Amino acid sequence: MSDDMIITVISDIKKILNEKQVLVDVPMKEHTSMRVGGNAKVLVLPSCTDEIIETVKYLCENKIPYVVVGNGTNLIVSDSGYNGVIIKLSDNYSSVSVNDNIITAEAGASLVSVSNLACEHSLSGLEFAAGIPGTVGGAAVMNAGAYDGEMKDVVFEVTCIDRNARIVRLCNEELQFGYRTSRMQKESLVVLEVKMMLKKGDKEEIRNKMKELNRRRREKQPLNYPSSGSIFKRPEGYYAGKLIEEAGLRGYRIGGAQVSEKHCGFIINTGTASATDVIELIEYIKKKVYETSGVMLQQEVKILGG
């Protein structure tokens, strides 16, 4: 967007949102878990469904590039930033309700907090999500999972808006869940709300399982460093971390970005990494793993801008 266009966009969006919800030239390293990246030209923080719909409708009608994010846990923004509008849902759009064995969560709700809420209501099925740092919307879009559990196992309805800002409600069978993918991802649908159907269980058993899975995460994952979680999808028949280790890349660094010594499937920011360091390391890992194993790794993390 040109400078004149940015001024117009900001002015127009402020007619939909209030001034405090529209931020300009925002360092995305402050909004991503890898803690790297340049500035977003405009970042907006809608607080209700109508605000999201009206904002998306305005951006689509005016052909303004935009992307919707949650906590930025699976996102790397390039050092040159993003020349468009980023709609962030985790700050203001995160209410959750429980009705019997059904949890309804707005897209920006923390997956960890929702799994904790399920435990408090003696609802089983979200134990696997106890340590996943993203939002419910992002988790549904990528069918997030861990320890033999996935979002597809609990989601029964998702409310979205399409690229024309029309509301679409999809049941589980229509969501086309696959390994780290879904219909929302394929069709660039914006998730508004996720309904999850859980099972009644024993609160203490649920809590103990969550504690055990979090203990295993702490043992195996480099949680004391900024990262974007698993960088690569699991190749069929292989484990990405093992392939990376076999390629001799444990601890390998480019600038401040490093293959984790603790878990080779993670890239960590040692404190001085740039987005360029991370992106170059991703490409180098792909190259070396392909050379040593013949397997081409597919990245799970999304790269924005450039």
Closest by CA position to 100, among listed 199, 231, 212, 214: 199
| Contact assessment for residue 259 and residue 247, using Cβ atoms and an 8 Å cutoff | no
Q: What are phi and psi of 254, to 5 degrees?
A: -130, 115
Between CA 170 and CA 55 the distance in angstroms is: 22
Annotated active-site residue 215? The verdict is no
* Strand ranges for the chain from DSSP E: 22-27, 39-44, 66-69, 75-77, 82-88, 96-99, 102-106, 123-124, 145-146, 149-150, 155-161, 167-171, 190-197, 199-200, 227-230, 253-254, 257-259, 266-269, 302-304
Annotated active-site residue 300? The verdict is yes
Write down how long the chain is. 306
**Buried b or exposed e, range 135-157, using 16+ CB within 10 angstroms:** bbbbbbbbbbbbeebbbbbbbeb
Q: Which of 33, 227, 230, 260 is catalytic?
A: 230
Q: Which of 51, 150, 180, 260 is catalytic?
A: 180
The catalytic site residues sit at 180, 230, 300
